[in-house]
Amino acid sequence: MDSGDGFYSVDEFHLDSKWLVDPNQLFVGPKIGEGAHAKVYEGKYKNHNVAIKIVHRGDTPEEIVKREGRFAREVAMLSRVQHKNLVEFIGACKEPVMVIVTELLLGGTLRKYLFNMRPKCLDRRVAIGFAIDIARAMECLHAHGIIHRDLKPENLLLTADHKTVKLADFGLAREETLTEMMTAETGTYRWMAPELYSTVTLRQGEKKHYNHKVDAYSFAIVLWELMHNKLPFEGMSNLQAAYAAAFKNVRPSADDLPEDVALILTSCWNEDPEARPNFTQIIQMLLHYLSTIAPLGPAIPPRIFTRENSILPPESPGTSSLMAKKDSTGETPRESMQDKPRGFFFCFGGECY
C-alpha cells in the first residue's frame, strides 16, 4: 500500500465500511479554517455537528499523486488510533472529493487562546494540565508507531469548556520504520527539531533520517509557550529561529522556570535526539511537578474572545487546524447553516471551496 516514494496510492487504499461517509448526508456550513492544501468547514453529518476537511487534489499530476497519498495516509492513521486527547475521527470519503470528517471542537486553537490572553499567562496548573493532555496524545501516537511531525499550538484544539486539549491534523504524520527516509523541512520551522536540517541545508523535499524524538523537541517548545505565553524565539523569523536552533544550538530561556519544568524542557530539546525522554517519561515528570504545586484557584481563565478581529502574528505555512470561529458572544455563528442549509453536492456545485 505504501509506494516507493513514501506515499499511499488512493487507488490501492480501501477504507473500512464503518468509516465510509455518505456524501449525501453531509451538509457543509461556514468555512472555519484554511491551509495550503485543504479547507475546513463547520457542518452536519447525520444531524451531528462536525468539522469537514476538504482536501484539494492539486493541479498537476505530481501534486495530485502527493495530495491523494497524504489524504490516504492521514485517513489510515486516524481510523486506527483513538484517544481522548486526539480529535475524534468520524469518517471519510474520496469521491466526489477527498473529505475527512471529525468532531467539531468549539474551544478554538491553543494558539488563538494563548494569543488572546497576552500579556497574561496561564495558571501553572492549567498549563501543566494542558501539557499532560498533549503528552498523552503523543504517547498514544508513538505507541502506534506514528510520528506527528507538526506539533504546534495551531494544531492543538480546546474543548468548549477550555478544560481539555486535543491534538489534530495528521496531514504530515508518518508511520515510523527503522530505515525510513522522511522528507526534510516538514512541520513549521519555529517548532521543528534541529535534526530536520543538515550541516549543508537540505533542499525542501530531500530525504533525511530521523525518528519519533522530533516530536519531543516540538513538545518542549509548546510547553515553553504554555509557561510563558510568548512566541518562542521572539524577534526572529521562522527561518532565523530554525537556523539558530540547528546550527547554534539556541533555545528559549528556561532560567526563570521551576527546576522541574526546566529539566523537562532541556531534556526534551536536547541536541542529541537519543538523549530526549519518551512521552511516557515526560508524563511522569509532568505529573511529579503537578503534585508539588499548590491547588488551582477558583476557576481556569474565562473564555477569551474579546478581540473579535484580532490579527494573529504571521506564521510559516502549515496545515490549518479544525478550529471554530466565534462571534462577539463567544458562540459559533449558526445563521448561515440554519437559514441556508447546503447539501454536500450543492456546495461543490457552487464552488464553495
Predicted pLDDT at 307:
40
Q: Do 285 and 159 share a structural domain?
A: yes
Q: Do 178 and 31 share a structural domain?
A: no
Grid cell locating 163: 478544560
Q: Of the listed 2, 16, 150, 339, which one is catalytic? A: 150
CA distance 267 to 276: 5
Place of cell 484544539: 157
CATH of the domain at 64: 3.30.200.20
Q: Do 164 and 221 share a structural domain?
A: yes
Predicted pLDDT at 158:
96
What average pLDDT does the segment 117-128 reach? 96
pLDDT in tens, 235-276: 998 888 888 988 899 999 999 999 999 999 999 999 999 999
Predicted pLDDT at 180:
38
Predicted pLDDT at 58:
84
Q: Do 277 and 345 share a structural domain?
A: no
Dihedral pair phi/psi, residue 239, rounded to 5°: -70, -35
Confidence of residue 50 (pLDDT cuts 50, 70, 90): very high
**pTM, whole model, 2 decimals?**
0.75
What is the residue range of 197's domain? 110-290
CA distance 274 to 276: 5
Q: Do 197 and 155 share a structural domain?
A: yes
CATH of the domain at 197: 1.10.510.10
Q: Do 165 and 41 share a structural domain?
A: no
Q: Do 135 and 183 share a structural domain?
A: yes
CA 18 to chain centre: 25
Residue 179 lies in a domain: yes
Confidence of residue 77 (pLDDT cuts 50, 70, 90): confident
Residue 315 lies in a domain: no
Q: Do 206 and 85 share a structural domain?
A: no
Q: For this structure, is 133 an active site residue?
A: no
Q: Do 275 and 137 share a structural domain?
A: yes
Q: Do 143 and 82 share a structural domain?
A: no
pLDDT: which is higher, 39 or 298 = 39
Place of cell 452536519: 44
Residue 4 lies in a domain: no
Residue 311 lies in a domain: no
Q: Do 265 and 227 share a structural domain?
A: yes
Amino acid 279 reads F
Predicted pLDDT at 197:
62
As annotated, the binding site for ATP includes 53
Q: Do 117 and 94 share a structural domain?
A: no
The mean of the pLDDT values for the chain is: 78
pLDDT in tens, 160-206: 999 999 998 765 545 444 323 333 334 477 888 887 664 444 455 45
- Choose one of 239, 267, 290: the last residue of a domain: 290
pLDDT in tens, 145-163: 888 888 999 899 999 999 9
Whether 277 has a pLDDT exceeding 60, the answer reads: yes
- Choose one of 290, 315, 340: the last residue of a domain: 290
Residue 309 lies in a domain: no
* Number of domains, the chain: 2
CA distance 258 to 228: 12
Predicted pLDDT at 296:
62
What average pLDDT does the segment 213-227 reach? 96
Place of cell 503534585: 291
Residue 317 lies in a domain: no
As annotated, the binding site includes 53
